[in-house]
A and B are shown apart, each in its own frame.
Chain A
Amino acid sequence: MDKLICKCGHENPPGTVLCESCGRPLNEQEQNKKLADMRYEGTARRSQTYNKSIIDKIWNFFSSVKVGVGIIIVLLIAAALGTILPQKQYVPATTDAAIEAYYTDIYGSVGTVYHALGFHDLYNSFWFIGLVGMLAISLIIASLDRFVPLYKSLKNQRVLRHSSFMRKQRILAEGPGDADTLKKAEEKLTDLKYKVSTDKNGLLAEKGRFSRWGPYVNHIGLIIFLFGVMLRMMPGFYVDETLWIREGETRAIPDAPGYVLESKGFTLETYTGEGEEEKFGEAIDRVGTVAKNYQTDVVLYKIPEGALPGDTADMEMVEEHAIRVNQPFKFDGYALYQMDFQQDELKTMSFALQNKETGESRGDLTIDLVNPETNYELEDGSVVELLGYYPDFSGFENGEPQTATPLPKNPGFLVKMTTPDTPDGETSFITIQNTVEPLGDNDYKLAFQGVETRDASGLTVRKDRTLPILGLGGLIFMIGVAQGMYFNHRRFWIQQQADGSILLAGHTNKNWFGLKKDLDQVTDHASLPAYRDQQEDMEAQEKREGEQLT
């Protein structure tokens, strides 16, 4: 396409509507308009100029407000769809098969369809992430399409504009003026915090141009935010682990190399409704118990650099800390959160190896349910061998015992018992209150003696290096919104002709009321001709014509 050469001699890029230099309308459509379209200063926007190549078409698609709003609406509806039934992370099932079964069992055919459509994990689906990606592209392209030409245009403004440009502005004043009118207007406008520049017989007064950047600034904030979210997929930026730690236990913190945590104990407090809390009595009576505090007291250790993995002999204490809900324990970019607990978790189980008939005992053994041994040697060379251990026994699958979780909630033991009486050994499968003898009747059994319990804390280990980026994005978004919404860009162009007559035009991107209030003051001070609001005049005329018709 060719450059557009204006009557004033200025070369404009193709697609320009109002001459960049003098403001003359450059096409017939614009010439016939009563008021100039000042939204983007009549600049050449790429999307309005080219529509040939694929790239043009894609650019034009994403730069459209209509498309942007369309994406927002689709995203909004999609997000809402995901709340009809709970998302899979809020469902009490872990394996894919169990999750699928859960939706069918609990929600019937609706649940089956919901799961089949993938709505149980909607926010991680490709199409949903794709939609968010489209929104991001639209934010970038729509902003660039408008910002670049607008910025250039406002940066290179000329003071003197062609009268056809001025007469197409909404606020217009024409009439005789005095010799010092321009000077007085300049005085008053400077007083009102306008930046005034003069050229020959004219002046341009401008205030609040930065508010024009508001929309682009808030879009930049959103893009930074989305970029931060994307960064979490990069290794090293984001850690999300669960650490179950029991009272008295010392464990390496997953994904936090060199750090070891010891739990001193877990505390659960509930409201008593007595003393200070008497005022809560009624509420507590209604709902039963109300939790007041979940707390794990921990000690953090650091293994010195260079130590072998698992070598905890030289570790140094870093800090003692109480982790509570809303008070995570932060160290070295990591944070530990109190998320879950298990009270009275089984710690050990004790058994006696007994002859079934005589009741004679060959000795006791205590199995540590977190770190069981494989061999327990008893009196007279009797041995109990632990062939299999199932901390949370959930039944048999193909004859094999299964465990649902690694937590010792319902321990099952497959043992081989060897005594001087039974040198070949006898096999037995033991769970709480139940013994199966898979290879025929045994002479010996493990008789249950007792358990020890303790509390366990479920902690979340988190590192999120994207948080500063997200925070920055949020901050820039808020600044941009305030900048664009609470400030406005006001301009006046004034020219005095050789015969002394004044031509004045005013423009603002919003709040015409405020602009007029400023102009009233300038008019008073510099005795400018009275101005009119051409848009209101047009509306009033349309209304009159409408009334005449009816």
Chain B
Amino acid sequence: MTLADISSNLLYVAFIAYLIATFVFGGAVKGNKEGTYRSEQRWGKVAITITVIGFLAQLGYFITRWMVTGHAPISNMFEFTTAFGMTLVGGFIILYALYKTAVLGMIVLPIALLIIAYASMFPSEVSPLIPALQTNWLAIHVITVVIAEGILAISAAAGLIYLLKVVDQKKKSKQRFWLEAIMYSLVLVLGFVVTSTFFTLTNYEADFTYVNKDEQPSEITYNMPAIFGMNEFEPMTDGAFTPLVEMPPIVHAGKLTTVFWSVMVGTVLYALIRLIFRKRISAMLQPFTKNVNLQLMDEINYRSIIIGFPIFSLGALIFAMIWAQIAWSRFWGWDPKEVWALVTFLFYAAYLHLRLGRGWAGEKSAWLAVIGFVIIMFNLVAVNLIIAGLHSYA
């Protein structure tokens, strides 16, 4: 087995460990009797042990991959997103050591699993660095950012648990709707993973020629049956599914097709869940939060942000500016990724001012923490895939 194989196997080990730990944490929380933590204490130990094993395996993946590629493994979508999953779990382990919160594991680990699964949908082969990335600032800037985002995501997880407990599932309200919308969007990510995996396993490929927005002939390979066709597409693969709708040149119909399939499959999954359990997902999760200490969740939410925010400022703005000055001759250029890092910074600055200056704690803080995570995910997913800028290396 080569070092590269060892590396990818370690990632599998980590994935499976997180998967098992999720259920053990869930069981640990569920087994609690009202007002007692005995089950949580006993099974929590087992679950955290499995989580730590998974984390060490993923750390092993990270280090061995670094050895194989010769550069910090954070240089493309697969590597960065995987590392994000890792820092998320790492942050959780630290908090568990401090606060012994099994319920946090039950929420953080599935999110980390989704993130790592999402990462694996991107090309994972070892890739060389383009000149702009050949510097130690790659490791310094990106590792700081990924740690900060992992910690900030913990605050969202704590916020989510807070909301799962306090939002009344019996009464129709905006809160109930939006909480369920978060659950639905998590299922959509699962939809993307399921769809991509299915079509990858079945080796689906269809080639088309098209005319791009600069009016040049180009080629594209679809890995899913093409619902949307590129501008003036012509099929090259015999018997391929013919696109139903042709899109104008500025719309990347290939990506749109992927989004369409993910939303379709995700929605079907969500509908099945609702049909089988006859309950909202948030209502299904609510019983798990019966023993949750709201004050503690609020504290974790706030603590994660006061730790994550300075690290984020340092990594995503200060280190980023230093590197941009060296590589691109200007420390700031209003590139979309830069702008969204600034948006994230401003958002958490607003969170802190509202909390410290106007006493926005508890439920308001919880919503803000969740919105912060949405902004981080937007910068990771949408800005990389839709708004192409200087950072779209993946």
Interface residues of A (CB under 8 A from B): 65-66, 68-69, 72-73, 75-76, 79-80, 82-84, 86-87, 89-90, 106-108, 123, 240, 271, 277, 279-280, 282-284, 286, 290-294, 324-326, 328, 335, 337, 339, 460, 462, 464, 467, 470, 474, 477-478, 481-482, 485-486
Q: Contact between A79 and B125 (Cβ–Cβ < 8 Å)?
A: no
Tell me if A325 and B334 are in contact (CB < 8 A): no
Considering the chains assembled together, what is the distance between the CA atoms of A460 and B328 in angstroms?
A: 9
Chain A contact residues: helix, strand, loop or mixed: helix
Q: Cβ of A325 and Cβ of B329 under 8 Å apart?
A: no
Minimum CB–CB distance from B3 to chain A (whole Å) comes to: 10
Contact in complex: A326, B213 (CB < 8 Å) = no
Q: How long is the Cα–Cα vector from A486 to B310 in the complex, in angstroms?
A: 11
Interface residues of B (CB under 8 A from A): 4, 68-69, 123, 125-128, 130-132, 134-135, 137, 213, 248-250, 306, 309-310, 313-314, 317-318, 321, 325-331, 333-336, 339-340, 342-343, 346-347, 349-350, 353-354, 357-358, 383, 387, 389
Are B310 and A72 in touch, CB under 8 angstroms?
no
Could you list 27 examples of A-B contacts with CB < 8 Å? A69-B358, A72-B346, A72-B349, A72-B350, A72-B353, A73-B346, A75-B346, A80-B340, A83-B340, A83-B387, A86-B389, A87-B334, A277-B128, A279-B69, A280-B128, A282-B125, A283-B125, A283-B128, A324-B131, A325-B327, A326-B132, A326-B134, A339-B328, A460-B329, A474-B321, A485-B306, A485-B310
Whether A283 and B250, one on each chain, are in contact in the complex, defined by CB atoms closer than 8 angstroms, is no
A80 to B339 CA separation, bound complex (whole angstroms): 7
Min CB gap B76→A, angstroms? 9
Task: For A76, give the chain B residue with the smallest CB separation.
Answer: B346
User: Is A290 a contact of B132 with CB atoms below 8 Å?
Assistant: no
Beta-carbon contact of B131 and A470 below 8 Å: no
Task: Known A-B contacts: A65-B358, A478-B318, A482-B310. Give 13 more (CB < 8 A).
Answer: A65-B353, A69-B350, A72-B349, A107-B250, A283-B128, A286-B123, A291-B131, A292-B130, A325-B327, A339-B329, A474-B317, A478-B313, A485-B310
Closest chain B residue to A81, Cβ basis: B339
Residues in B neighbouring A123, C-beta threshold 8 A: 334
How many interface contacts (CB-CB < 8 Å) are there between A and B? 124
A477 to B326, CA, bound (A): 22
Instruction: Looking at the assembled complex, report how far the CB atom of B30 sits from the nearest CB atom of chain A, in whole angstroms.
Output: 27
Instruction: Verify B128–A326 contact, CB threshold 8 A.
Output: no
Separation of A188 and B334 alpha carbons in the complex (Å): 55
Name the distance in Å between A371's Cβ and chain B's nearest Cβ.
28
* B4 engages A326 (CB within 8 Å): no
The answer to whether A286 touches B125, judged by C-beta atoms less than 8 angstroms apart, is yes
Minimum Cβ distance to chain A for residue B143 (Å): 17
A65 and B357 contacting across the interface, CB-CB below 8 Å: yes
Residues of B within 8 Å of A328, CB to CB, are 326, 329
A123 CA / B342 CA spacing, docked (Å) = 13
Residues of B within 8 A of A107 (CB): 250
- For the complex, what is the distance from the CA of A108 to the CA of B334, rounded to whole Å? 23
- Complex CA distance for A292 and B342, rounded to whole angstroms: 30
A470 and B314 in contact (CB under 8 A), knowing A279-B126, A283-B128, A326-B131? no
Chain A's closest residue to B335 (CB) is A90
Chain A residues near B350: list those with CB within 8 A: 69, 72-73, 76
Q: Flag if A292 contacts B310 (CB, 8 Å).
A: no
Instruction: Assess the B340–A280 pair: CB atoms within 8 A.
Output: no
For residue A101, give the distance in angstroms from its CB to the closest CB of chain B: 14
| CB–CB A66/B358 < 8 A | yes
Which chain A positions have C-beta within 8 A of B318?
Answer: 474, 478
B6 to chain A, nearest CB (A): 14
Whole-angstrom distance between the Cβ of A131 and the nearest chain B Cβ = 11
**Chain A residues with CB under 8 A of B125:** 282-283, 286
Once the chains are docked, how many angstroms separate the CA of A467 from the CA of B249?
42
**CB atoms of B325 and A467 under 8 A apart:** yes
